[in-house]
Amino acid sequence: MTRSAVVLFPGMAPATFDDLGRFLVLDRYVRPWLAAAGEVLGEPVLPAFRAESAHYGPFSQVAFLASSLALAERAEHEYGMTPGVCVGPSFGQRAAAVYSGAVGFADAVRLTAAWARCERDYFAAQPEAFVTQCFVRVPDQAIPEVLACLRERGEWAEVSADLGDGAVMVSVCEAVLGEVVSAVRRRGGYAMRAMRPAMHARRFAPLREAAAEVLAGCAVADPELPVVADQDGRVVRTAAGVRGMLLDGFDRPVDWPAAVAGLAELGVETVFVTGPDRLFRKLEATRSLGDVFAVTPDTVGWVRR
CB atoms under 10 Å from CB of 158, counted, come to 20
CB atoms under 10 Å from CB of 234, counted, come to 16
Low-confidence winner among 29-43, 47-61, 262-276 (lowest mean pLDDT) = 47-61
Q: Give pLDDT tens digits for 178-193.
A: 999 999 999 999 999 8
Burial 289-303 (b: 16+ CB within 10 A, else e): beebbbbbbeebeee
Whole-angstrom Cα distance, residue 151 to residue 143? 12
State the average pLDDT over residues 47-68.
90
Residue 303 has pLDDT above 70, yes or no: no
pLDDT value for 136: 94
What is residue 235's DSSP assignment?
E
Percent over 90 (pLDDT), the chain:
88
Sheet containing 254-255: which strands, arranged edge to edge?
190-195, 130-136, 167-173, 157-164, 254-255
pLDDT band with cut points at 50, 70 and 90 for residue 300: confident
pLDDT value for 15: 73
**Full-model pTM:** 0.94
pLDDT value for 13: 79
pLDDT value for 19: 83
Task: Find, among 241, 219, 213, 240, the residue nearest to 229 by Cα.
Answer: 241
Q: Give pLDDT tens digits for 3-52.
A: 489 999 999 977 778 888 899 999 999 999 999 999 999 999 999 999 98
State the average pLDDT over residues 48-61.
87
Indicate the average pLDDT of the chain: 93
Residue 114 has pLDDT above 80, yes or no: yes
pLDDT band with cut points at 50, 70 and 90 for residue 302: low
State the average pLDDT over residues 275-294.
94
Contact 95, 16 (CB under 8 A): no
State the average pLDDT over residues 74-91.
96
